[in-house]
Amino acid sequence: MTGTGDLVRRAASVLGVPESTVRSRVMLLRKEALWSSEGRGKSANPAPSDASNLLLSFLGGGLVTKAAETVRMIRCCQHILNFRDQKSLPPVNLFADLGLDHTLGEMLDAVFEKWSDRGPISDATGGPITDAYLFVERYRQGWEAELLLKDSNAQWEVHYEFLGPRGRVAVPFPKDDGGDLFTSARVTKTTFSALAKCLSGRTPNSKNYPARADRGKRRK
């Protein structure tokens, strides 16, 4: 079964929140043009970016009333090369169409697209990724995120930081968003797999594929 209604039910179950809370996030994202524009009913097929944006609206922290603003910014978290001596992207098909300058939003869209097909595959072993974790930390001036992937023989860590939606210069939160609250959230392969099941039968070039805040903003 696929559709927005199914995505709401699965998200509520896997994240452990009421369905009414998930529906309110979907309505907020739709109002702010962060949900696919094609199809309004419960049976309308959601896009990979819809699953990404819904998940980030929970992981990003902050005020619920500013969830859309949070999603737009956190999608712009940029991949950081040379983190812990990392010299290249992991040998996993998830990154096949992503450059070194890709964003967290682009990576998550690819995660849900791959998982709705047959899942990320390790090029090193030819086997599936057996586990995955996404860690997101919100602090006073932005976010850090880390994706951990494992196959049967190896593991890789991919790091992201919020360096501003317009380039590689850190942009602090507005003054009214100050404070000393630090939040940390984590999801696993279970979440990716559960939400991706609602995207079954989609094609990557479907008309309602992205409501992506970072599309067209790739940096040179």
Model confidence pLDDT, tens digit, residues 63-117: 888 899 999 999 999 999 876 667 789 999 999 999 998 999 999 999 999 998 8
Domain ranges for the chain? 4-199
Query: What is the per-residue pLDDT for 179?
Result: 65
Dist CA 54 CA 2 (whole Å)? 16
- Hey, what long-range contacts does 89-93 have (CB within 8 A, 24 or more apart)? 89/158, 90/149, 90/156, 90/158, 91/122, 91/123, 91/124, 92/120, 92/121, 92/122, 92/123, 92/129, 92/149, 92/156, 93/120, 93/121, 93/123
Going by C-beta distance under 8 Å and a sequence separation of 6 or more, which residues neighbour residue 1?
198
Percentage of the chain exceeding pLDDT 70: 77
Query: What is the per-residue pLDDT for 210?
Result: 44
pLDDT at 205 over 50: no
Whole-number average pLDDT of the chain? 83
Considering only CA atoms, which of 38, 58, 56, 59 is closest in space to residue 47?
38
* Cβ atoms of 142 and 162 closer than 8 Å: yes
Considering only CA atoms, which of 44, 42, 61, 106 is closest in space to residue 79?
106
Residue type for 50, please? Answer: D
Phi, psi of 140 (to 5 degrees): -60, -35
* Cβ atoms of 212 and 72 closer than 8 Å: no
Tokens 């097929």 locate to 45
Tokens 């998830």 locate to 94
Alpha helices, H only, the chain: 4-15, 19-31, 48-59, 67-75, 104-117, 189-196
Q: What's the pTM?
A: 0.84
Q: pLDDT tens for residues 166-192?
A: 655 555 555 555 567 788 999 999 999
Kind plus residue range of the DSSP H or E element containing 131: strand 131-139
